[in-house]
C-alpha cells in the first residue's frame, strides 16, 4: 500500500482520487496496517498536512454515523465551539470546503466502517488528498484499491511472538528452547494477529511458566478464545480492547438470519474446508441459494474461499478460520434449539457422504458385467470425487463415536477402504478403521467390528506397524471364527498371512494363506481365492519355494483375468515376474514386468507402474545394462511420487544415481 501513497511529480497530471479499502476479518490487523502506513508516509514527507483519523466503531452496538464523524473531523481541523455550523448540511459544506482549500496534502483514515453510509459523505471532493477505509466487509459502493488482509504465515507468527517476548526480556530463552511449543501456540491462535498479540501478553506475564503450559491450557479448552480473552492484557497501543470473543460476536450478530444459520452449520462441517455440494446437503439448500450466502459471508471475511489446485471454478471450496469455527461451535452448543438444528444438519451431510461414497466405491471395485454406479460413469470420476472429499469423509467417520451417528459412520467407513488403499493414505485408513471398530463395538455389531479389525490390520501393515497388524488380524480371525462366518474368516486369514510374512514368520504365513485359500475355495469366492493365491505366492517365494510361487501367481493371474479385474491382474503379473526371475527364467520375467506395466498404466495405477519399472530397472542393473536401468529407475521414481510413495521414489532415485556412467 505504501508506494501508492507517494505523491506524483509536480508536472504530472493529478490522478483521480485514490481510495484504499483495507479489509479482513476482525483482529487481522487492519487498523495497525493503516496507521503504520500513515506514519511511514508522513515521515517521508508525503503528507505535510498530516493525517486525520476517525474510528467509526462500525461493529459496536451503536456505530458512529457520518453526521457524528464529520463533527470529530471538523474538531480535528480546528472548527469547534462558535465556529461550528449549526446544521449537519452546513457542517458537511464546511468540511468539504476545508479539504478543498487545504493545500498541504492530507491522509484521511476512516477506520472500522461497517456500512458505506458511514463514510461516503466524508470522502473529499478533491483528488489532492488520499483516503484509507478499513472494514471487515468488502463493499462495492465505490471504486477503490482493495487490500485484503490474510492471516500471518507460520514463520511470521513465530517471529512476532519471539520478538514480543525478547523485547520485554532479552534473556528470555523460551522461544528458542521450546520451538515446538511456540509453533503449536501460533497454530492454536490461527496465525491471527490479535490472538497472537494476546498470547504474547500472556507469555510476558507468565515469565516463569513455559510456553507448553499455555499451549496445554488452550488446547484443553472447548473454545480457545475463552482462554485468550481471560488472559488479555486489556488494551492495545491504539487504546482498543484486546478481546477476541466480542470481535467475533459483533460480526456474527450483524448477519442476516440466513447467513448466521449457514455460518453456524458450516462450523459443524467435517474437515478443514467443504465443497459447495456438501454444504448444500448440510444446510438443506439449493446450490444457487447456498452460493449466494457463501459469497456474502466471504465478503464479510467470515468464510474463506479455497481454490483447489486445478483452478476450476467448480473446485472452489469453503473454509473457516479456526477461531471462527470454535466460536460457531460455541454458539451452537449454548442453545438447545441450535444444537438440534446442528445435529439434523450433520445427519444430512453424513447421509450425503454415504450415498456418493458408496457409489464411488462401487465404481472403484467395478468389474465387467456389473451395473455402472450412479453418477460415476468413469473410474477417474470416482477417484476425483474421493480426492476432493477425503478430509470430510474421514472426519465424518469419526462422528461414529457418537451414538446418534454410529451406524451410518460404520457404513461410510466400509466405503473408504479401497480408495484409501489405492491412494496409499494409510494414516487416514488407520483412523477410519479405528473409528469404525469403536462405533461397531458400541452398537454391538460384531460382524462390522471384526471387519474393522481386519481393515485396521491391512492399514497397519502398509504403514510398517507389522506386529500391531498381526494382532489386529488375529483378533478379526477369532471374532469371525466365533461367529461361524467362514468367508470373513478367510479374509482374516489372508490378512494375517500377509502380516506374518512381513514379520519374517514365513512358514506361519504359508500356513495362514493356505488356510485362506482353502476357505475361499470352499465358499466359491473366486476373487478371494485369487487374492489368497497371489499372497501365498509371495510367502512361498520368501520360503525359497520358487517354482511353487510361480504356480501360485499363475493361478491368481488366471482367476483375475477371468473376473476382468485388470488392476489386480497387473499386480499379479509383477509378482509373477519376480518369481520367474528368481527361478532363472529372465525372458519370461521381462515379459511379465512389461505386461504389468502396460496394464497398470492403462488403469492409472501409479504405484503398480512404479513397481514394474523398478523391477525392470533392477533386472537391467543385474544384467550389467546401466544405460537401460537408469531411465527405468527415474521413471519409477516419478510414478512412485504420483502414487504418494515418497520412500520408494527416493530409493529409485538413489539407485539411479549410484549407477556407473
* Rounded (5°) CA angle 412-416-420: 155
Is residue 486 very low, low, confident or very high in pLDDT (cuts 50, 70, 90)? very high
Q: Distance (Å, rounded) from C-alpha 354 to C-alpha 409?
A: 8
Model confidence at 312: pLDDT above 80: no
Model confidence at 661: pLDDT above 90: no
Is residue 11 very low, low, confident or very high in pLDDT (cuts 50, 70, 90)? very low
Q: Distance (Å, rounded) from C-alpha 485 to C-alpha 636?
A: 41
Give the pLDDT score at 536. 97
Each residue of 134-183: pLDDT tens digit?
999 988 777 788 889 999 999 999 999 999 999 989 999 999 999 999 99
Residues 306, 318 contacting (CB under 8 angstroms)? yes
| Alpha carbon distances (Å) from 444 to 408, 437, 552 | 14, 10, 39
Model confidence at 314: pLDDT above 80: no
Q: Distance (Å, rounded) from C-alpha 212 to C-alpha 185?
A: 8
Residues 108, 120 contacting (CB under 8 angstroms)? no
Exposure string for 92-107, b = 16+ CB within 10 A, e = fewer: bebbbebbeeeeebbb
Q: Distance (Å, rounded) from C-alpha 69 to C-alpha 55?
A: 8
Each residue of 63-94: pLDDT tens digit?
999 999 999 999 999 998 889 999 999 999 99
Judging by beta carbons within 10 Å of its beta carbon (0-12, 13-18, 19+), is residue 311 exposed, middle or buried?
A: exposed
Name the helix (H) or strand (E) containing 90.
helix 88-101
Contacts (Cβ under 8 Å, ≥6 apart) of 403: 442, 443
Is residue 277 very low, low, confident or very high in pLDDT (cuts 50, 70, 90)? very high
Model confidence at 343: pLDDT above 80: yes
Provide the 10 A C-beta neighbour count for residue 460: 24
User: Nearest Cα to 574, choosing from 622, 528, 623, 541?
Assistant: 541
The beta strands (E) that lie in 298-401 are given as 304-307, 316-319
Rg of the chain taking only CA atoms, in angstroms = 32
Q: Distance (Å, rounded) from C-alpha 584 to C-alpha 358?
A: 45
**3-class SS at 192?**
coil
Give the pLDDT score at 225. 84
Q: Distance (Å, rounded) from C-alpha 394 to C-alpha 449?
A: 18
Share of the chain above pLDDT 70, in %: 95
Give the pLDDT score at 61. 81
Judging by beta carbons within 10 Å of its beta carbon (0-12, 13-18, 19+), is residue 401 exposed, middle or buried?
A: middle
Angle, nearest 10°, between helix axes 606-622 and 586-602? 160
Total-model pTM? 0.83
Rounded to a whole number of angstroms, the distance between the first and last alpha carbons of the chain is: 54
| 304-307: strand order across its sheet | 273-275, 316-319, 304-307
User: Nearest Cα to 266, choosing from 314, 219, 321?
Assistant: 321
Q: Distance (Å, rounded) from C-alpha 615 to C-alpha 639?
A: 13
Model confidence at 240: pLDDT above 60: no
- Which residue do the cell numbers 489372508 mark? 494
Model confidence at 490: pLDDT above 50: yes
DSSP 290-348: HHHHHHHHHHTTSSEEEE-TT--GGGEEEE--HHHHHHHHHHHHT-HHHHHHHHHHHHH
Q: Would you say how long the chain is, in residues? A: 661
User: Nearest Cα to 575, choosing from 592, 555, 591?
Assistant: 592
Contacts (Cβ under 8 Å, ≥6 apart) of 264: 328, 331, 332, 338, 341, 342
Give the pLDDT score at 638. 97
The beta strands (E) that lie in 167-310 are given as 273-275, 304-307
Judging by beta carbons within 10 Å of its beta carbon (0-12, 13-18, 19+), is residue 43 exposed, middle or buried?
A: exposed
Give the pLDDT score at 221. 84
Residues 456, 434 contacting (CB under 8 angstroms)? yes
Each residue of 523-573: pLDDT tens digit?
999 999 999 999 999 999 999 999 999 999 999 999 999 999 999 999 999
User: Nearest Cα to 618, choosing from 658, 570, 569?
Assistant: 658
Amino acid at each position: 500500500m505504501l508506494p501508492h501513497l507517494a505523491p506524483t511529480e509536480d508536472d504530472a497530471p493529478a490522478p483521480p482520487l485514490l481510495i484504499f479499502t483495507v479489509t479482513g476479518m476482525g483482529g487481522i490487523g487492519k487498523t495497525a496496517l493503516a496507521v503504520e502506513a500513515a506514519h511511514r508516509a508522513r515521515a517521508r514527507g508525503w503528507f505535510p498536512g498530516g493525517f486525520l483519523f476517525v474510528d467509526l466503531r462500525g461493529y459496536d452496538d451503536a456505530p458512529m454515523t457520518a453526521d457524528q464523524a464529520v463533527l470529530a473531523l471538523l474538531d480535528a481541523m480546528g472548527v469547534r465551539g462558535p465556529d461550528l455550523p449549526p446544521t449537519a448540511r452546513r457542517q458537511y459544506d464546511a468540511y468539504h470546503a476545508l479539504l478543498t482549500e487545504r493545500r498541504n496534502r492530507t491522509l484521511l483514515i476512516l477506520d472500522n466502517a461497517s456500512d458505506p453510509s458511514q463514510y461516503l459523505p466524508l470522502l473529499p471532493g478533491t483528488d489532492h488528498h488520499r483516503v484509507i477505509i478499513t472494514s471487515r466487509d468488502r463493499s462495492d459502493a465505490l471504486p477503490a484499491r482493495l487490500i485484503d488482509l490474510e492471516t500471518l504465515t507460520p514463520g511470521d507468527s513465530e517471529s512476532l511472538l519471539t520478538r514480543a517476548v525478547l523485547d520485554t526480556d532479552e534473556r528470555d530463552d523460551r522461544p528458542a528452547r521450546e520451538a515446538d511449543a511456540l509453533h503449536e501456540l501460533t497454530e492454536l491462535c490461527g496465525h491471527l494477529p490479535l490472538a497472537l498479540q494476546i498470547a504474547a501478553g500472556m507469555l510476558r506475564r507468565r515469565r516463569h511458566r513455559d510456553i507448553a503450559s499455555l499451549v496445554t491450557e488452550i488446547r484443553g479448552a472447548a473454545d480457545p478464545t475463552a482462554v485468550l480473552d481471560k488472559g488479555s492484557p486489556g488494551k492495545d497501543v491504539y487504546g482498543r480492547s484486546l478481546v477476541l470473543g466480542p470481535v467475533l460476536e459483533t460480526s456474527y450478530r450483524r448477519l442476516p438470519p440466513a447467513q448466521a444459520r449457514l455460518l453456524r452449520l458450516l462450523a459443524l462441517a467435517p474437515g478443514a474446508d467443504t465443497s459447495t455440494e456438501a454444504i448444500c446437503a448440510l444446510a438443506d439448500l439449493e446450490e444457487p441459494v447456498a452460493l449466494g450466502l457463501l459469497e456474502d459471508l466471504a465478503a464479510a471475511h467470515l468464510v474463506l474461499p479455497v481454490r483447489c489446485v486445478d483452478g476450476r471454478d467448480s473446485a472452489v471450496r469453503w473454509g473457516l478460520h479456526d477461531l471462527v469455527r470454535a466460536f460457531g461451535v460455541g454458539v451452537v452448543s449454548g442453545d438447545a434449539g441450535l444444537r438440534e438444528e446442528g445435529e439434523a444438519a450433520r445427519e444430512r451431510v453424513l447421509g450425503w457422504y454415504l450415498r456418493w461414497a458408496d457409489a464411488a466405491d462401487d465404481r472403484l471395485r467395478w468389474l465387467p458385467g456389473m451395473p455402472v454406479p450412479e453418477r460415476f460413469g468413469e473410474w477417474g470420476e470416482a477417484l476425483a470425487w474421493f480426492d476432493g472429499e477425503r478430509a470430510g469423509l474421514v472426519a465424518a467417520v469419526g462422528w461414529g463415536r457418537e451414538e446418534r451417528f454410529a451406524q451410518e459412520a460404520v457404513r461410510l467407513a466400509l466405503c473408504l477402504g479401497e480408495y484409501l488403499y489405492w491412494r496409499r493414505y494409510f494414516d487416514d485408513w488407520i483412523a477410519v478403521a479405528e473409528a469404525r471398530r469403536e462405533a461397531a463395538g458400541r452398537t454391538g455389531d460384531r460382524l462390522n467390528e471384526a471387519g474393522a479389525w481386519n481393515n485396521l490390520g491391512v492399514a497397519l501393515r502398509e504403514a510398517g506397524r507389522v506386529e500391531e497388524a498381526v494382532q489386529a488380524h488375529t483378533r478379526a480371525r477369532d471374532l469371525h471364527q466365533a461367529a461361524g462366518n467362514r468367508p470373513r474368516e478367510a479374509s482374516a486369514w489372508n490378512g494375517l498371512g500377509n502380516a506374518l510374512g512381513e514379520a519374517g514368520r514365513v512358514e506361519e504365513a504359508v500356513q495362514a494363506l493356505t488356510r485362506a485359500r482353502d476357505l475361499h475355495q470352499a465358499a466359491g469366492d473366486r476373487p478371494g481365492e485369487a487374492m489368497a493365491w497371489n499372497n501365498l505366492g509371495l510367502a512361498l517365494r520368501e520360503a525359497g519355494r520358487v517354482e511353487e510361487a510361480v504356480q501360485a501367481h499363475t493361478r491368481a493371474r488366471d482367476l483375475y483375468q477371468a473376473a476382468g479385474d485388470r488392476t489386480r491382474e497387473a499386480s499379479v503379473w509383477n509378482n509373477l515376474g519376480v518369481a520367474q526371475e528368481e527361478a532363472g527364467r529372465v525372458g519370461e520375467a521381462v515379459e511379465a514386468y512389461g505386461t504389468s506395466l502396460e496394464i497398470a498404466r492403462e488403469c492409472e495405477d501409479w504405484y503398480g507402474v512404479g513397481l514394474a519399472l523398478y523391477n525392470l530397472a533392477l533386472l537391467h542393473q543385474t544384467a550389467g545394462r546401466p544405460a537401460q536401468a537408469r531411465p527405468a529407475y527415474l521413471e519409477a521414481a516419478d510414478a512412485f511420487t504420483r502414487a504418494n510413495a515418497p520412500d520408494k521414489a527416493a530409493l529409485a532415485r538413489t539407485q539411479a544415481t549410484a549407477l556407473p556412467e
